[in-house]
Amino acid sequence: MPLEFTTSYLEDSLALFRHYKKMAEQAMAQVRDDELTLAIDAEANSIATIVKHMVGNMRSRWTDFLSSDGEKPDRNRDREFVAPPATREELLRIWEEGWQHVFAALEPLTDADLGRGVTIRGEAHSVLQAINRQIAHYSSHIGQIVLLAKHFRGAEWQSLSVPRNRSQEFNQRVAAGEASQR
């Protein structure tokens, strides 16, 4: 992630959300279509199931973010873990819809809004706390997506950061101003 100096919590949060979104997209791009819906065991979730859950959470948390509870009454969380989208196209369509909720809620805010109150499941949060909660939630699930994609690709995996056993080379390129950061 190219680091851009900022003292704005919102700018940094939006950059983090975009970074994690891109990371998941780069991981999903490396798997075959059938692997998107493949679970590694009976208790595990597939990439598609994780995405469906994240999208349900995004819709619930970010719709009417400042004016209604972040756990919408029509959300059925349990249903998010069954019958994931069967095609890559459908999966990526709902993925984009979910992220539209995130960015539509956050982009109009200013740092002055960070102290405002919101609720999630009836619990009071500041806007800042609610954002932190979602960054942590989404990054954990995106880590799962990356791990599954890496598992499926094995030796063919294209690193999303510094490739294994290449740290010294990467550090030299950074020092020379040549490294592109993802």
Eight-class DSSP state of 132? H
Q: What is the pLDDT of residues 129-161, one digit of tens each?
A: 999 999 999 999 999 999 999 999 999 999 998
Enumerate the domain spans of the chain: 9-175
Backbone angles phi, psi at 123, to 5 degrees: -95, 135
CATH number for the region 9-175 comes to 1.20.120.450
Q: What is the pLDDT of residues 31-59, one digit of tens each?
A: 999 999 999 999 999 999 999 999 999 99
pLDDT of res. 131: 98
pLDDT of res. 181: 47
Q: Which residues contact 146 (CB under 8 A, 6 or more apart)?
A: 23, 24, 27, 160
Whose CA is closest to 81, among 109, 52, 102? 52
Give pTM, 2 decimals: 0.88
